[in-house]
Amino acid sequence: MNNHLINLYDLNFAELTEFVAELGQPAYRAKQIWQWLYRQYTPDFASMSNLPKSLREKLAANTTLDIGPIIAEQLSSDDQTKKVLFQLADGQQIEAVLMRYEKRRTLCISTQAGCAMGCVFCATGQMGFFRHLSVAEIVAQVMHFARELAAEGEHVTNIVLMGMGEPLHNYENTLTAVDRLTDPAGFNLGARKITISTVGLVPAIRRYADEKRQTPLAVSLHAATDAERDKLIPVNRKWPIADIIDACHYYVEKTGRRITFEWALIAHENDTIEQAQALGRLLQGMLCHVNLIPLNPTQQYGGQPSSRARVDAFQQELARYGVNSTVRVRRGIDIQAGCGQLKAAVKE
């Protein structure tokens, strides 16, 4: 792929309008192209039938919609979860997942190639950090599945930025991609349908709060004491739990929005009654919700998912502190749908 081509998913509407003017075209052509990109999900220029042939040729010569080929794909045994591995122009590989629920079609999207956070139980964290994804590389993952679902008469209902990478580490590109996907004149997905996940980058959480964004925030906590969290999430040494919880209170005050805490339940590690009590004390009185997720095992981490009985006991303990929680349905375990796992398998 020619690296000098402009990826149209990198341009906002004003930039696209300017680019179209540079090609000697009237401004209304930008609106037509925008519609093809974000309403029709067209994969190529040849199908943009209301554009003159000369413009389609210019677009094909100077721009692209491609982020790279899919080099691996897996479908879960129940056909409800599909995972794809894209190879980007520079050889980096990223994953995206489609999860089908009764009424939802949820995408799990990557924001970085690899991840710098080094969480010990995460396959992406185990591989290290390579680079941030561009806006186009984030948006194109969504468009791939939007196109596929549209062919079946369905549409994307939800997006979680919980794939490879730490979204708030790639703040500008991640949030620009979110703006592109929520643009009422474009893809037009409701902001509240896109959840951004973070391991707790405190300055970024505060900035996010100040911007009063409507997109929900989820914090991957996984431990309620620094001694435990330091072992799981190295970045905790830089921003310990007290700082994260302060930032979360700030977020709730600034936005009036509920915050979600993610908790991967690891048998006999962070699923103890003591950890549940510590978490209950930490979150008591906050406008929040806890997502309990039995661990997706990875090859390089020996931890195992908690048993149902331990999950129930943990949840009951949280309820004693008035903290609401739900147990997340585990999806795609048979195809390693945990982030980074398909790439790790392809590398072996």
- Of 15, 211, 339, 348, the catalytic one is 339
Distances (CA, A) of 80 to 76, 77, 101, 104, 338: 6, 8, 7, 11, 15
Cβ atoms of 306 and 341 closer than 8 Å? no
- Of 22, 73, 95, 228, the catalytic one is 95
Cβ atoms of 67 and 89 closer than 8 Å? yes
User: Among residues 346, 258, 294, which one has the least CA distance to residue 71?
Assistant: 346
Q: What is the residue-wise DSSP string for 146-201? A: HHHHHHTT----EEEE-SSS-GGGGHHHHHHHHHHHH-TTTT---GGGEEEEES--
What's the token pair of residue 219?
Answer: 């914090």
Cβ atoms of 17 and 74 closer than 8 Å? no
- Side chain identity at 181, as an amino acid letter? L
Task: Identify the helix (H) or strand (E) that includes residue 70.
Answer: strand 70-75
Report the sign of the C-alpha dihedral through residues 46, 73, 101, 323, in that order: negative
Q: Nearest 5°: CA angle at 129, between 139 and 226?
A: 105
Q: Which burial class, exposed, middle or buried, applies to 309 when counting CB atoms under 10 A from its CB (0-12, 13-18, 19+)?
A: exposed
Does residue 339 have an active-site annotation?
Answer: yes
Cα distance between residue 188 and residue 162, in whole Å = 20
Q: Please list the active-site residues.
A: 95, 339
